[in-house]
């Protein structure tokens, strides 16, 4: 896709961070917007900012993307009120609890997987028929650099982002000869509130979340226009991407351990040193 004027662009997780950045960028490009977030206040604020930029149609809906029924109802509403979507950006996501595997609850794995993976799955499947009916369009699924390598205290989050990667890469092959482009985004350290509420979340954010959301939004739009399928972008993203394929797993794991050791609370790891 080269232009977005009067095209219907659907964005999940639009209440803050990258999602809000996508909404404002596409508003400036003249798109009609269908926006979702679980945070009503944040979504309303994004809507106000969008209306200040554009007089194009705007639809907002507050729901959990991990709810299959709500996602499909959203797709039905978008088609009825705005017409077929041309772009779906599955951006919504949450962090995990920030604990090692043995310290995590089963509920955390289920919650993170439901939102981060199944939210992407439902969003893609709910809107793909509209893109195909339009005979053009783009699917943008947001993974993470933690969908390239496994990191400590993030096995719930990494599992979900690796799942997004696998699903999206498979979809790319399936749609190879279609008019639909598929894009997989691996953000690095983007300055959002994703780590809020996790153990050592503030320390993690201060150390790693350095790149402004608008910067990666600009790159994603370039990818949609050019057809580039993978984007690895943000603070330390290139370094992690290189490590994901250029280093042996053993060497990479040692590097990640040293890099992130100060995020690993010794108390949580005392189980590995009985009697110490």
Domains for the chain: give ranges and CATH numbers. Answer: 8-272 (3.40.50.720)
User: In a structure prediction context, what are the per-residue pLDDT tens digits for the chain, which is 276 residues long?
Assistant: 889 999 999 999 999 999 999 999 999 999 999 999 999 999 999 999 999 999 999 999 999 999 999 999 999 999 999 999 999 999 999 999 999 999 999 999 999 999 999 999 999 999 999 999 988 999 999 999 999 999 999 999 999 999 999 999 999 999 999 999 999 999 986 656 554 555 555 665 555 555 788 889 999 999 999 999 999 988 888 888 899 999 999 999 999 999 888 888 888 998 887 765
In this prediction the pTM is 0.92
Crossing angle of the two packed helices 40-53 and 17-28, in degrees rounded to 10:
20
Place of tokens 């499909």: 72
**Residue of 157, 208, 233, 269 with catalytic role:** 157
Does 38 participate in catalysis according to the annotation? no
**C-alpha distances in angstroms, 34 versus 69, 87, 92, 98, 123?**
17, 10, 14, 32, 12
Q: Where are the alpha helices (DSSP H) in 54-176?
A: 68-82, 106-112, 119-134, 155-174
Give the three-state DSSP class for 183.
strand
Tell me which DSSP letter residue 197 carries.
T
């Amino acid at each position: 896709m080269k232009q977005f004027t009067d095209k219907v662009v659907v964005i999940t997780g639009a209440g803050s961070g990258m999602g809000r950045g996508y909404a404002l960028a596409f508003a400036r490009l003249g798109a009609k917007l269908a926006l979702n977030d679980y945070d009503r206040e944040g979504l309303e604020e994004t809507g106000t900012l969008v209306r200040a930029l554009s007089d194009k149609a705007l639809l907002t809906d507050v729901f959990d993307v991990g709810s299959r029924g709500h996602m499909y109802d959203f797709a039905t509403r978008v088609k009825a009120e705005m017409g077929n979507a041309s772009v779906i950006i599955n951006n919504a996501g949450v962090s995990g609890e920030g604990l090692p595997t043995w310290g995590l609850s089963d509920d955390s794995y289920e919650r993170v997987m439901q939102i981060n993976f199944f939210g992407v799955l439902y969003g893609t499947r709910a809107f793909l028929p509209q893109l195909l009916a339009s005979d053009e369009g783009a699917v943008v699924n947001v993974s993470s650099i933690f969908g390239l390598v496994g990191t400590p205290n993030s096995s719930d989050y990494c599992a979900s982002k690796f799942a997004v990667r696998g699903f999206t890469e498979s979809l790319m092959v399936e749609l190879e000869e279609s008019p639909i482009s598929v894009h997989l985004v691996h953000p690095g350290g983007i300055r959002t509130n994703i780590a809020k509420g996790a153990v050592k979340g503030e320390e993690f954010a201060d150390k790693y979340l350095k790149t402004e959301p608008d910067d990666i939004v600009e790159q994603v739009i370039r990818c949609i226009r050019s057809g580039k399928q993978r984007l690895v972008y943000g603070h330390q993203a290139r370094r992690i991407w290189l490590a994901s394929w250029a280093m042996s797993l053993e060497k990479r794991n040692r590097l990640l351990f040293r890099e992130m050791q100060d995020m690993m609370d010794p108390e949580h790891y005392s189980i590995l040193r009985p009697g110490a």
